[in-house]
Structure 1
Amino acid sequence: MKDLSISNNANTTTPSKPSSSGHPRSLSSAPKFSLPGSQQTDDYAEARSQVKHYLKDNIDSVQTIAEHSNQSTQQFVTRQTESIAEFIDELVQCAKSGLGKAELENKLKRTIAAQLKRRSPSGRYSGKTDAEMFDSAVRFLPWLCPGSDSTFSTTNEKHIYPCFVELINFVAELVVRPPLDQQPTSFDEYPKQLVRSYNKTDVKPDNAEGRHRVDMALKCDALSYHDTSNDGGYGEDSFRSSKEDLKAKDGRNGERPNYSRIFAVIEVKPNSSDANMLKGFSQLVEYSKNLYWNQHNRRFIWGLVSGGSNVKACVLGPNFLLASRFMDVTTAEGQLELIGFLANWSFCELPKLGYDPTVRFDLKHLCFAIDTVDNNKPEPAQTTYYLRKIVVVAERVFGRHTRCFVVSEQPPSSDGDCDTSADILIKDAWPEVSDSTEDDMRDESKLLEWVSNGLAGRSEFEGLYPKYINGGRMQIQDAHGESVDETTRTVLGETVWAQLGELPLRAHMRIAMSGVGEPLKLIKSIPELIVVIYDVMRCHMGILKHCHILHRDISEANILVRRDSTGVHGMLIDFDHAISITDDGYAKHAERTGTVPFMSVNNLEDKPTKRTALDDWESIIYILCWLGTFGWNSDTQPSDSVASVSIASWDGYNVKMIANSKRRDMDSSRNFTEITKGFNPNIPDIRRLAKVVEGLRAVLIDNHNDPDLRGAMVIPDSIPEENDSDEETDQYEYKMRPDPFAERIAHWESISESLLAKLEIIWAVKSARKPTDIFFRNKYIHRSVMLEVVTAVPGMVSGLIHHIKSLQGMRHDGGWIGHLLHEAENERMHLMTWMEVSKPVMWERALITTVQTGFFAVFSLLYMVSPRTAHRVVGYLEEEAVTLYTHWRDCIHAKFESLFEDMDTNSNKPHIKY
């Protein structure tokens, strides 16, 4: 028998495991971001907050979620459940009979032997012996019969563990051994899988991150007699954790739990008090993170929480945590309900267990196959792709459960190789949707198709966005065999859904697209980060202009890195929250969306103001600040605690406080400098990033002629004097200034253009370095020559233009002409110095002349059109000079340090005697 899960062992590049220091939280997920380097004082604080937010307790008919779709089959399961419950009740009555120990043991053995004699193992399954079943019964009966064993305590968790394990395994044994008068009449009435407990309890599972130990864990194994080609893909060989699982053994005697194989987690508490149940639910949520991370075919997760003898069944999905009513295992009714869950899990289809049958192991090609909806094909209207690499895993229990797979249309060859030239990216997620697909304005597949068509033929955006291939809402079969949209409503069923009130509807979306990138964590330097951000926002504005779609969810997770022969590029992905805009550039809906630390102030405050591109530009500033402070991978993360930095107030649960904090930090350059001072100084070129971010903030916040557009705070223009009044409470009248964020909305287009131009200048200067990198590499003197060739031009050009303006206007220039020409002369002397040192050859002189001539023409034109922009270019050139000379100096120091180390090593060697 084999487990039914698909684990991370399938991929070639393993994503980072979930840990207590996760990602910034999205509004659709509750966990708070844990700052790198900070210490967790409460391991379950995040999970406890999630439970309070998502828990729907005492839900009726939770068991129906796992019922078989075929009514006749479910009736057979119900009869099986009643038969098993009667058997166990007979054993309970024996335990309560008050017989002596020896007499009781004999009666139990006779009862078990008689019952098993009238039960026949299904198919080729060889069941436990009568003696093994007796041993199991002896272990679980004290839990069902309080007082029957004086050494057993229902308030001791460790006493309950073995009882629960044996009860589950005892029921599993009976599930595949129906009474002779209730034999299956069709293949569907055979159990498809066997749900049993790992024998090891209170254990840290394999693949676990951290020190958490689960009380108990269930495994779900496909039964061997379902290894057929016509079983709908539920056979033993249809679901693997990895290729290595082909040789895995049954492990019935209690192997160690592994998160890639666990079907459900069980948490046991000494009693069913509210505090204990809250802790149990919180632990269940915490451990479920590892299940989602390790099993990429999990749609939702089952779990059990026991408080003494009271048990609740739980279902964890994208935006819900459902808990059943208590099942008291000391009563016949409670035993029947618990056995009903175990029996349903064994008979129901894989989707009812929480697994996704459209992500399966292809035994023929020894790789995973993934299906997508393709309406361009005839029924079943789907396309199958073959997995190459898993790039994004579902790291959160609640939220969209976004997963990304790199796949190919052709299966790998016998040696495992496949064509990588046509890699396709599949995105799998559970976003919020409207009931009707036609009315759903947030359907990412439609928006992505719209973007692909709108930017078709525009080469300047090629490779900066994913292109739609196929996909949409996934389909499942309902009880009548009809295909319906796979939503949280169809997953839970109408009976349960009706009890959940106004729970937002989510749908299972899977989209295939061309254009494969890498996570932002693979950025190698600050200059690369700047280029990627420029590409992303250039694409963002192109989509806004040509497709009339606003992204609305700019975050680090939605920015990818793409490398090709021309260098590094950025890619904007994830249009889950994108929305069409009006002709004047405003979003039609203003609901709050995004990832909390990166959300704009207007978004956080959830005011009825229009959403524009400025909200996404504001998010870019927050992202760059976040990356500058906390880094983007293990190499750039700070080594010390940063919990006290100002930016820490940008994350949390109180969005109003976060908005106030961002207003304060963004209000003035002085306040904002406190943020950039907190950037990690160990990141190379971090000051350059600080200058970029400060420049973007200045364009967004400061550089406006209208005072109502400047700043970020809403404060009184002046504090009036106190009014004289005989009333007990003094009256004040404050004249509040307009909200700058709201006032800037009307000017979104011009401000956005200025922000993009700001990034474009920075990008152009970085790009200008590439020819020098290619030609001169580590020849720092030659690189200095090229730099001084360029920097000697601006002073002369600006001096000449000022001279012409002074002559035409017949007015004094204020001394600027002489100052600018003196600067040009100074740069020229630097050039002459390096020319004398480097002795350039003819082709190098030709390159110098070409670069100088071209730059002279371009800069002259730029200065005449926009002097401010031209001076900003000079500033970036000076920053390049600082970077070059600093790097040169560091190389010299490193060389001398290495030389001195060699000298010191040689001096310690023993003298050679001649």
Structure 2
Amino acid sequence: MCRFACRQYGLRYAWGLTICGHSVYVCHFGSDKAVSSKPIDVTTPEGRHAFIELLVSWSMCDDSQLGRDPTIKYLPDLDCWQIDCPDDGEDRSAGTELRYYYNTVICHADHLFGRHTRCFLATDIKPTAESPLEPNVVVKDAWAFAERSADEDIRDEVKLLKKIRDVLSTSLSPEDNVIYPEIVMGGRVRFKQGDIDIKDNTDTMYQGVEFAGDDLPRFRVHRRIVLSQIGERLHSVKSVDELVTVLCDVMRCHNAIFEHCQILHRDISDNNVLVVRQGDGIARGLLIDFDYALDMSIEELRTPRPEMTGTLLFMSINNLRNWHVKRTVLDDYESMLCLVCWVATAGIGSLPRRKSKELEKLPIARWRSGTIDAIVDTKSAHFGSLTVFEKVITDHFSGIDPTNNTSGGNSSGDSGAILLTAFAKGLRRLLFSNPSVGPECRGTSYIEMQGAQSIESEAAQDFPPLFDDELQYKPETINPFEKRAEKNNVAVIAKDLHTHINRYWNYAMDRQEKAKQALSDQAASTENQLIVVLMDLYKHIIQVLAS
């Protein structure tokens, strides 16, 4: 029932009844909670009265009170849905709406609880029998955590995307060749319930539902965003060259957004990378979903405690440890390293796909199963040294022969796997063994280094030691993640990573273009050969007819 409800595009929440013997329970399924009433005993007069009163109350409710969304409506004559999308401007009391139409869903809300993110391919042109629906935008519909006051909601994805659009449209030039998400409009969903203007959020969703003590759900708002780019899932890449181009594009986009907008994404994952194909068929990468993003120009003034955010499989070690260490662009680069390793191992594009049973036997499977402590210890061990990284991670990349210990050993001749191996090793080296920074910034675990002279008593300060062997040293314990998070070190490491990304992006783009040109030349050659054959056949027919 719950999975069915998640597929109902016009359903905000659901009511239900559970009957156990003589007891009836009223259930309410919201975005964060499933709540059940106390049992209603229908064998008693009081219970029967309460049950009948409930049915009468439901019969008098309008559709929105029963959980329906008045802003989404199915049009059976056109076999499509219409959806109203808000736009929160500077004056939020004067928000506008625009109606869109869709019949293709590219992301379903298949989980009972959470953000319930759904994405539709849509158009603002109403289709007709003569003019079928041709989507030109993506509509994202989700229940996101937020502040109750829209003006105080500095983490609003709509605000962040509008800042990205406004800043990068003037800061980047065509020569930068960076693809970034472009918002058309967006805002909090509102609708009319009789004469009352309803702001769709968990307060209105759970209105009249009783919670016990601390069981109150965290506040969420119903938000819609319209984006101009239409892309495909990451697994749609057709070659390793396309994959590397897409992943590098995402980090080039990430760098531009952070440099010019001071916005940190914080959720690099396979679900948040789209493949956008240009007119010539070249695959490019687009970074999406800024639900967890932060505007660091504002957040640094608030100095919040870092939060654990992101997708467990791709979260950085620093993030998983939940240390009181500032999150930086390096955490997102580490998430990209995890993503590269995962797709290269599981198989994608031209790399052979591994069966799930085989994949679960590999060391990398421990990145997503077990306790958080076990996961972070595993990642720390895997990234801690190049030797371990090769043995347990890159040697298992799809297409690589793990029995061959030579550098880049490959029994299948798949150059794509070798390309991904070199790309991943470079990311690991620059993140955890970067020669451009001091030794205190390297590694994935605490480092013990010789500290300053240790003085045991104040009296000893009057008689300093005469010889070196009289010096007493106390080992200093250093957290390399804390040292890397310092502003100067972040800048140095991020610059090296950016150079690494650009190098592989240029290489993969060049290979894509050469492959497209080779296909074009082959097609042209085949066409010319066909023309020659047809001309010879035509001449032969003329000769036969003439004789």
Alignment TM class, shorter chain as reference: 0.7 to 0.9
Alignment of 1:794-833 (within 5 A): none
Alpha carbons 1:369, 1:385 under 8 Å: kept: yes
1:654-706 alpha-carbon deviations (Å, 9 max, x no partner): 32222222111111112222122333339952332222112111111112341
Match of 2:151? 438
1:753 aligns with 2:484: no
Aligned to 1:578: 293
Tell me how large the CA RMSD over aligned residues is: 3.1
Q: What is the aligned partner in structure 2 of residue 515 from structure 1?
A: 229
Q: What is the alpha-carbon distance in structure 2 between the residues aligned to residue 309 and residue 635 of structure 1?
A: 59
Q: Does 1:329 align with 2:46?
A: no
- Using a 3 Å threshold, how does the CA distance of structure 1 residues 653 and 448 change in structure 2: closer, same or farther? farther
The residue that corresponds to 2:30 in the other structure is 317
Encode CA deviations 1:11-68: one digit per residue, 9 max, x unaligned.
xxxxxxxxxxxxxxxxxxxxxxxxxxxxxxxxxxxxxxxxxxxxxxxxxxxxxxxxxx
Equivalent residue letter for 2:74: F
- 2:158 corresponds to which letter in structure 1? S
Report the CA distance shift for 1:775/1:521 in structure 2 as closer, same or farther (over 3 A): closer
User: Matches of 1:565 and 1:702 in 2, distance apart?
Assistant: 40
- 1:405 matched to which residue of 2? 120
Kept in 2: contact 1:581–1:587 (CA 8 A): no
Comparing 614-623 with 361-370, greater Cα deviation is found at: 361-370
The 5 A counterparts of 1:238-637 are 265=1, 288-292=2-6, 294-363=7-76, 365-375=78-88, 381-420=96-135, 423-457=136-170, 458=172, 459=174, 464-477=179-192, 481-493=195-207, 496=210, 499-501=213-215, 503-566=217-280, 567-582=282-297, 588-589=303-304, 590-631=306-347, 637=353
Please state whether the residue corresponding to 1:368 is helix, strand or coil.
Answer: strand
Residue 511 of structure 2 is aligned to residue 769 of structure 1: yes
Cα–Cα, structure 1 residues 433 and 456, in superposed 2: closer, same or farther, change >3 Å? Answer: same
Aligned to 1:702: 433
What secondary structure, in the 3-state scheme, does the structure 1 residue paired with 2:29 have? strand
User: Match of 2:398, as an amino acid?
Assistant: N
* Residues 1:689 and 1:607: Cα distance change in structure 2 (over 3 Å): same
User: Is 1:690 aligned to residue 421 of structure 2?
Assistant: yes
Q: Which residue of 1 aligns with 2:484?
A: 744
- 1:759 partner letter: I
Is this contact kept in 1: 2:239–2:349, CA < 8 A? no
Match of 1:660 in 2: 377
Counterpart residue number, 1:249: none
Distance 1:460 1:542, change over 3 A: farther
> Aligned to 2:251, what secondary structure does the other structure show?
helix
Aligned length: 476
Q: Does 1:643 align with 2:385?
A: no
Q: Classify the secondary structure of the residue corresponding to 1:431.
A: strand
Q: Check the 8 A contact 2:178/2:249 in 1, yes or no.
A: no
Question: Counterpart of 1:679?
Answer: 397
- Distance in 2 of aligned mates of 1:607 and 1:692: 28
Query: 1:356 and 1:584 mapped to 2: Cα distance?
Result: 34
Give the Cα separation in 2 of the matches to 1:662 and 1:354: 43
CA shift in 2, pair 1:564/1:744, >3 Å: same
Residue 328 and residue 467 in structure 1: after superposition, are their counterparts in 2 closer, same or farther (change >3 A)?
Answer: same
Rounded Cα–Cα distance in structure 2 between residues aligned with 1:434 and 1:412 = 37
Q: How many angstroms does 1:734 deviate by?
A: 9.2
Q: Does the aligned pair in 1 maintain the 2:238–2:350 contact within 8 Å?
A: no
Structure with more helix by fraction: 1
Unaligned runs of 5+ in 2: 401-411, 451-472, 523-547
Offset at 1:366?
A: 4.0
Match of 2:470 in 1: none
Shift, 1:586, TM fit: 9.7
1 CA distance for matches of 2:234 and 2:244? 12
Amino acid at match of 1:712: T
Amino acid corresponding to residue 225 of structure 2 in structure 1: I
1:418 deviates by 4.0
Partner residue, 1:670 = 387
Instruction: State TM-score, norm by structure 1.
Output: 0.49
Tell me, in whole angstroms, the C-alpha distance in 1 between the residues paired with 2:165 and 2:252: 16
| Contact 1:533/1:570 (<8 A) preserved | yes
Alpha carbons 1:372, 1:510 under 8 Å: kept = yes
Identity among equivalent positions (%) equals 32
Superposed, 1:865-884 pairs within 5 Å as none
Q: Can you give the 5+ residue segments of structure 1 that lack an aligned partner in the other structure? A: 1-264, 266-287, 719-732, 781-914
Query: Do the aligned partners of 1:463 and 1:515 also contact (CA within 8 Å) in 2?
Result: no
Shift of 1:483: 1.9
Give the 3-state SS of the residue equivalent to 1:407 in structure 2: strand
TM-score, normalised on structure 2? Answer: 0.79
2-structure distance, mates of 1:345, 1:584:
45
Q: 2:238·2:349 contact (CA, 8 Å) conserved in 1?
A: no
* Contact 2:246–2:283 under 8 Å retained in 1: yes
- Please, which of 712, 731, 742 is the counterpart of residue 444 of structure 2? 712
Pair 1:652–1:516, CA change in 2 (3 A): same
Aligned pairs for 1:112-123 within 5 A: none
Cα deviation for residue 414 of structure 1 reads 1.7
Name the CA distance, whole Å, in 2 between partners of 1:537 and 1:374: 29
C-alpha contact (below 8 Å) 2:351/2:399 kept by paired residues: no
Q: C-alpha distance in 1, partners of 2:496/2:484?
A: 13
How far is the alpha carbon of 1:407 from its aligned partner? 0.9
